[in-house]
Structure 1
Amino acid sequence: MDDTVRFTDLKKKEYSASDLAKMDTQPKSVSVGPGGLAVAVCIGQVVLLKDKRKVFTLDNLDYQPEVGAIHPGGGTVAVGGADGKVHLYSLQGNTLKDDGKILDTNGPVTDVQYSGDGAFLAVSNEKKVIIVYTVADGYAVKNEFYGHHAKVVCLSWSPDNDHFASGGMDMMVYVWSLSDPEKRIKIPDAHRLHHVSGLAWLDQRTLITTSHDACVKQWTLKI
């Protein structure tokens, strides 16, 4: 909220109040990539960082950027917008180049997440739909997933790159399978007082959920 992107060393597990990069506007989404790269999606801007320093800024955009993700291979940045589209940029050195590649999701984008192996891109939107694209096929649609009763807020891929979790305003969490789209795990009322705000996997069977109800929950899944 103070227009900064802050960094924490996972090995040391130490937080430093001075380990930050100042943005021009408030950041809404951060994605970490290989080689010290990170992308911060701010109000009206997409900022590329290298080794905790700003190196490139995209502004004067004709859409409002909401969320971003760096491909694990480091070559592409996907930015989801309030215009219902995912805009793909090439990462060339310390710059982002617009290649004119756009994915239309038919609803304001709420999250974008690449699978750990970089093979798939999952995109959620306010229309309660999750679309998974196959990267190697020029981002062709692999499948669409329906189940949430309200806006999907967040996504997270399992380490097996086949399952992914979604959390929504309906306070529900789903775990989906790419290899079997009909098979899904439903966690109703994952957080009873507020919607699910964040997801993370500890391993292939352990999922962490967070919420504005001030709770962090750990779930053991039977996949």
Structure 2
Amino acid sequence: MTQLAETYACVPTAERGRGILISGSPKSNTILYTNGRSVIILNLDNPLDVSVYAELQRKDNSQIKCLAAVEEEIVTSGFDNKIWRVPVHGDQCGDADSVDIGTQPKDLSLALLSPEIALVSTDSGVVILHGTKVVSTVNLGFTVTASAIAPDGMEAIIGGQDGKLHIYSITGDILKEEAVLEKHRGAVSVIRYSPDVSMFASGDLNREVVVWDRVSREVKLKNMLYHTARVNCLAWSPDSRMVATGSLDTCVIIYEVDKPASSRLTIKGAHLGGVYGLAFTDQYTVVSSGEDACVRVWRLTPQS
């Protein structure tokens, strides 16, 4: 069962827009999200104390398109072809630094164990960054639609318009293709590694989600076809036992990876206009954001 605990509007009020939730921190019970113009940090223990980072507002009408974060840094990209890195010290932001990658970013992920390493996908390939230095620019020969980099920075999974998942090993500035996985029937829209890195999950524009075993590269959980529209986002629980998915169909669906997909839990009408961001702040708390400019906190009741 689920229970709606709180609803927070994306702030500031004058700048409300689609809420794209980026990350939740189990250590501090903090969520970080963007409405496309500002980055907002909210502590769920003290929701009236909201930090809005105005210095991340785009003065040139170049809205934030992608955002990734670790505890001490926020990394953003927009329509200006730039990747911005902003240090965070408590409730204060430091001076931002940026690099122009020469083309528009489509997806952005950080190697969580070495967050200075970032993988940025573009229409035709990927860019690997070390800090604000471009280490490698690779044309992959297919249309890229989603990407993720492993926590250690040694592997990348690239999803394509054709629904295929390409797995690459990374050595310095060299990408080597190791495998191609075929299961999706639509363009891949999102890829995420599990926290224990034993699995990864992928979603597509044809409403399907797949959980994969990372070692065998076989499907671990199949028949995840319960959305009725494209999958926009997904998130893993801290113990890697659950996957939450969000869709244009306004629903959030939560799966336990060791149980059949049919035993799913569905939150209907989570966000008017579609769900665009998800994160777990602990094992039984899911935070979602969407087209309705709201962030909602859902409490999960453990199943006996």
The residue type paired with residue 97 of structure 2 is D
* CA distance in structure 2 between the aligned counterparts of 1:45 and 1:212, rounded to whole angstroms: 29
Over the aligned positions, Cα root-mean-square deviation in angstroms equals 1.7
Of the candidates 183, 190, 200, which is equivalent to residue 270 of structure 2? 190
Q: Does the 8 A contact of 1:56 with 1:96 survive in 2?
A: no
1:1-223 correspondence runs (5 A): 1-16=79-94, 18-33=96-111, 34-35=113-114, 36-59=116-139, 61-99=140-178, 101-104=179-182, 105-137=184-216, 139-144=217-222, 145-181=224-260, 182-192=262-272, 194-223=273-302
The residue type paired with residue 194 of structure 2 is S
Query: Which structure would you say has the larger Rg?
Result: 2
Could you list the per-position Cα deviations for residues 55-75 of structure 1 after superposition, in whole angstroms to 9, with x for gaps in the alignment?
Answer: 11112x321111111122332
The residue type paired with residue 214 of structure 2 is V
The residue type paired with residue 289 of structure 2 is T
After TM superposition, give the deviation of residue 95 of structure 1 in Å. 2.8
* CA distance in structure 2 between the aligned counterparts of 1:146 and 1:123, rounded to whole angstroms: 12
After TM superposition, give the deviation of residue 132 of structure 1 in Å. 1.0
Structure 2 unaligned regions, length at least 5? 1-78
Highest relative contact order (Cα 8 Å, sep 6+), 1 or 2?
A: 2
> Aligned residue pairs: how many?
219
Q: Does the 8 A contact of 2:198 with 2:214 survive in 1?
A: yes
Identity, % of aligned positions: 32
The residue type paired with residue 148 of structure 1 is H
Could you list the per-position Cα deviations for residues 177-219 of structure 1 after superposition, in whole angstroms to 9, with x for gaps in the alignment?
Answer: 0011232221111012x21111111111111111132222221
TM-score, length basis structure 2: 0.68
Change (3 A) 1:17 1:86: farther
After TM superposition, give the deviation of residue 13 of structure 1 in Å. 4.5
Partner of 2:55: none
* CA distance in structure 2 between the aligned counterparts of 1:189 and 1:135, rounded to whole angstroms: 32
- Aligned residue for 2:258, secondary structure, equals coil
Q: Does the 8 A contact of 2:186 with 2:205 survive in 1?
A: yes
The residue type paired with residue 149 of structure 2 is I
TM-score, length basis structure 1: 0.91
Could you list the per-position Cα deviations for residues 107-146 of structure 1 after superposition, in whole angstroms to 9, with x for gaps in the alignment?
Answer: 2101111101111111111221111110111x11112112
The residue type paired with residue 94 of structure 1 is D
Q: Does the 8 A contact of 2:88 with 2:94 survive in 1?
A: no
- Of Structure 1 and Structure 2, which has the larger fraction of its residues in strand? 1
- Aligned residue for 1:103, secondary structure, equals strand
* CA distance in structure 1 between the aligned counterparts of 2:181 and 2:92, rounded to whole angstroms: 39
The residue type paired with residue 295 of structure 2 is V
* CA distance in structure 2 between the aligned counterparts of 1:31 and 1:74, rounded to whole angstroms: 10
Q: Does the 8 A contact of 1:90 with 1:98 survive in 2?
A: yes
Change (3 A) 1:157 1:54: same
